[in-house]
Structure 1
Amino acid sequence: MASPAYTTPLLSESSNSIISTTSSSRSSSESEESPETSQRFQDFQLLDLQLKISRTPISCFHSYKSLAVLSGHVGTVSCLALCGEFILSASQGKDIIVWQQPDLRQFTKFGTGDGSVKALVTIGNNVFTAHQDSRIRVWKVSRRSENVFRLIDTLPTTKDYLGKFMKQSNYVQTRRHHKKLWIEHADSISCLAVSNGYIYSGSWDKSLKVWRISDLKCLESIKAHDDAINGLVASKNGVVYSASADGKIKAWKSSSGTHSLKGILEGHKDVSLNSVVVSEDGVFVYGGGSDGYVIGWVGNKNLDSWKLICEVKAHEMAVLCMCLMMGEFLCSGSADKSICIWKREINGGLFKFGVIKGHEGPVKCLQASTGSVGGGFMLYSGSLDKSLRVWWIPKYGGDGDEKKDSSLITK
């Protein structure tokens, strides 16, 4: 059965109403309440950016001067997501701040729970947040409520829990003398990914769980790794990649309703892999390690055989996060407080395009704009210094000393 279409909502600048992109799955009445998104935000953003550029010396952009520094979190910024014309940033202090573009003002704040926020994703009119207390919370973006982001459920749901807790076979051993239902995570949920109507959650308990978005039911729990899962990403062809402290990235593919292991990508020995990204065409996978390296692999058609194609010493300290932009740029954030911009070549190799410095703490999360803005792209970075920074990265060049690809491995 085909999975439902999901769109990303936009909240009106002047009210709490939602202006959503149209979807084939919506009814005509719903479409009337949620008109199609115009170019208003894109035009405003570009105009605002052009004004900033006109007031700023060109040399500032060669060193990637930040357009804005957003402060307001009580804890370190742990994750970011784009939600239409809004930026969502979450922190170890349990709070989630909604920032409005293009003026980058604080629009609202929400959040609750017994643990800090570790990851968040947006699907349609819902926001999913993963927490240190081993739960996933679901928030509804509602224009009919003064509380725009309203908590509507927690995973696993009460219905799912009650349907399984009476049967002994539904319990698994988590540690000595401790058991939990297999639908529950036993430790912090560190990462989330979305693909084909499913939410995937990775945890420090080494497991990967699969949740169906339509009814929020947990369908599978996979003993995925030998150590904590630190990162998840899903490709357009439905393959999910999990990065772990065990030094491996594993590829998972759904077949006949269950997920099976398709391939294992081996990193450096005794080095944790903290993040993973996949190219738009699904051909190349890159992992960021605790030794400061970014490593790239290419898989065969069946994804059961992987070849190491590049490795580059990206940072002096651990790579904590990565993101891909416009199909040709890879951004890496590090514990050394810097962000590196890499140009990806057609063969998968990387060469340094530029370096961003400005954060006063390790860079924990990165998010790039979904489209081109003024001949470049917007980059958002969150740090342990409790701030969110906004950067504009031009496509035409970085610091003027681009290094040709030396990362490609040839044999």
Structure 2
Amino acid sequence: MEYPTYSFVIESTSSTPLLSASSSSICSTSESDESPANSHRFTSPDLICRFPNIPSCGSYRSLAVLNGHIGSVSCLALCGEFILSASQGKDIVVWQQPDLRQFAKFGQGQGSVKALVTVGNKVFTAHQDSRIRVWKVSRRSENIFKLIATLPTTKDYLGKFMKQSNYVQTRRNHKRLWIEHADSISCLAIYDGMIYSGSWDKTLKVWRVSDLKCLESIRAHDDAINGLVAHKGLVYSASADGKIKVWEKEGNSYYSLKGILEGHKDVSMNSVILCDDGRLVYGAGSDGCIIGWKGDLNLSSWKLVCEQKAHQMAVLCLCSVGEYVCSGSADKSIGIWKREISGGIYSVGVIRGHEGPVKCLQASSHTVGSGFLLYSGGLDRSLRVWWVAKEESAKREGSSPIQQIMEEKCRLV
């Protein structure tokens, strides 16, 4: 069946900084002197939505396949007008929306990139060599992404290396400063001026954005930490030990364990996300299941509400947008799920197209033609962009897809 084709327009009514506020909580508005002087109107022949006459919930269209990495795509971040994707090939590529052209490339030679987050005009990247690197972003410099620090910083080292009490045993006959990770850093989260890093060394570390100082190191799990998310003073860590642990800092004290969400026995938790303002927690299991818990922020009444067999192979990543949860799997597919009020999920679609396991996902909250944009990175070295229909698009009457697009233009703020 041939579908009518409609291109859409993305407009910005105000200037767009290089890294600015986006749908992701890890992004925030950068300094005003980093903004271009004028507003822009973008049109893109590359971003094309192909709609059936009545798009159904979960139906999707492939918009683009971006091949620019020398290794498997390991992590993504959406920030303003840009998509940042990093790979195990040590490179970080910046793609400009809406035309999805390659804008910049940086970070080569710094170790395989496992995670990245952005805040203001800075990008934080976590690497296999157990270090976090900080990049400053500026249009005023020829080197748009400039490395400004490596964590732990030299200042942090100098303040601690003389005292034996600052060293911890990492393995037999080997000690490190407690501010150092002893193995690959697998995940990052950022919230309220703090950066949290999780590592295969089983520790969770807390860093302050303002001075890049390591404030705390927590022996968090019995196995590698694979996922982190922070929200309203709580930090959730997902581990290969099959648990999601919840940490909270009270006043000026250190973080303490406030709760444990138990997954399936002997099943690794590969990712964790929050929905419904933190009242729903979902974990991605290596047995192909998505497990969910519902409760309140004081952790007094968490209960298991979801045990969904989502994929035939391990679920490697999760993301959410509105009432939808998306899952990426080692079986090369992406599952689209609708959340129920109870916290359960049901399938509304499956996306196929990657030629390798899907390692990372990010969804944009901007509405495009009664759907949303989904970005996926895979071990096939590609970054792919999809348009996914929402349930509402099938229910709206009296308006054609082109009218819906005109009514709900995607706005980059």
Change (3 A) 1:340 1:206: same
Q: Please tell me whether residue 193 in structure 1 is matched to residue 194 in structure 2.
A: no
Instruction: Give structure 2 stretches of 5+ with no counterpart.
Output: 1-11, 22-27, 396-413
Counterpart in the other structure of 1:136? 132
* Alpha-carbon distance, 1:373 to partner: 2.2
Contact persistence 1:274–1:288 (CA under 8 A): yes
Aligned equivalents of 1:95 and 1:386: distance in 2?
11
**Partners in 2 of 1:111 and 1:381 — Cα distance?**
21
Q: Give the structure 1 partner of residue 345 of structure 2.
A: 350
- Would you say 1:283 and 2:279 are equivalent positions? yes
* One-letter code aligned to 2:185: I
Q: Using the TM superposition, give the Cα deviation of residue 372 of structure 1 relative to its aligned residue in structure 2, in angstroms.
A: 1.9
Alpha-carbon shift at residue 49 of structure 1 (Å): 8.3
Inter-CA distance 309–359: structure 2 relative to 1 (3 Å threshold):
same
CA distance in structure 2 between the aligned counterparts of 1:33 and 1:99, rounded to whole angstroms: 18
What is the aligned residue count? 374
- Name the structure 2 match of 1:5: none
* 2-structure distance, mates of 1:208, 1:19: 27
Specify which of 103, 117, 121 is matched with residue 121 of structure 1: 117
Structure 1 runs not aligned, ≥5 long:
1-11, 401-411
Instruction: Measure how far apart 1:31 and its partner are.
Output: 3.9
2:362 is aligned to 367
Residue 114 of structure 2 contacts residue 185 of structure 2 at CA under 8 Å; is this kept in 1? yes
1:370 Cα deviation after fit: 3.2
Query: Would the alpha carbon gap of residues 253 and 205 (structure 1) be closer, same or farther in structure 2, given more than 3 Å must change?
Result: same
- Give the AA of the match of 2:141: S
Does structure 2 retain, via aligned residues, the 8 Å contact 1:19–1:35? no
Tell me, yes or no, if structure 1 residue 306 matches structure 2 residue 299. no
**2:38, 2:271 → 1: CA distance?**
33
Per the alignment, residue 157 of structure 1 pairs with 153
By relative contact order (CA 8 Å, sep 6+), the higher-ranking structure is 2
Return the alpha-carbon distance in structure 2 between the equivalents of residues 388 and 114 of structure 1.
21
SS in 1 for 2:48: helix
Secondary structure, counterpart of 2:157 in structure 1: helix
TM-score computed with the length of structure 2 as normaliser: 0.84
Query: Residue 252 of structure 1: which of 233, 247, 254 is its match?
Result: 247
CA contact under 8 A between 1:92 and 1:118: conserved in structure 2? yes
User: SS in structure 1 opposite 2:366?
Assistant: coil
Instruction: Quote the Cα distance in structure 2 between the aligned partners of 1:325 and 1:164.
Output: 43
What SS does the aligned partner of 2:278 have? Answer: coil
- Verify: 1:69 aligned to 2:65, yes or no: yes
Q: 1:78 to 1:20 in 2, by over 3 A?
A: closer
CA contact (8 A) 2:88 2:112 kept: yes
CA contact (8 A) 2:19 2:82 kept: no
Identity of aligned residues (%): 73
Say whether 1:334 aligns with 2:312: no
Please give the residue correspondences for 1:265-284 in structure 2 after superposition, counting only pairs within 5 Å: 265-284=261-280
CA 36–260 in structure 1, closer or farther in 2 if over 3 Å, else same: farther
Counterparts of 1:63 and 1:26 in 2: how far apart (Å)?
A: 33
Q: Distance in 1 between matches of 2:189 and 2:269?
A: 17
Corresponding residue of 2:9 = none
Q: TM-score, normalised by structure 1?
A: 0.85
Tell whether the 8 Å contact from 1:377 to 1:394 is kept in structure 2 after alignment.
Answer: yes
Tell me if structure 2 keeps the 8 A contact 1:17–1:142.
no
Q: Is the 1:50–1:374 contact (alpha carbons within 8 Å) kept by the matching residues of 2?
A: no
Residue 147 of structure 1 deviates from its aligned partner by 1.2
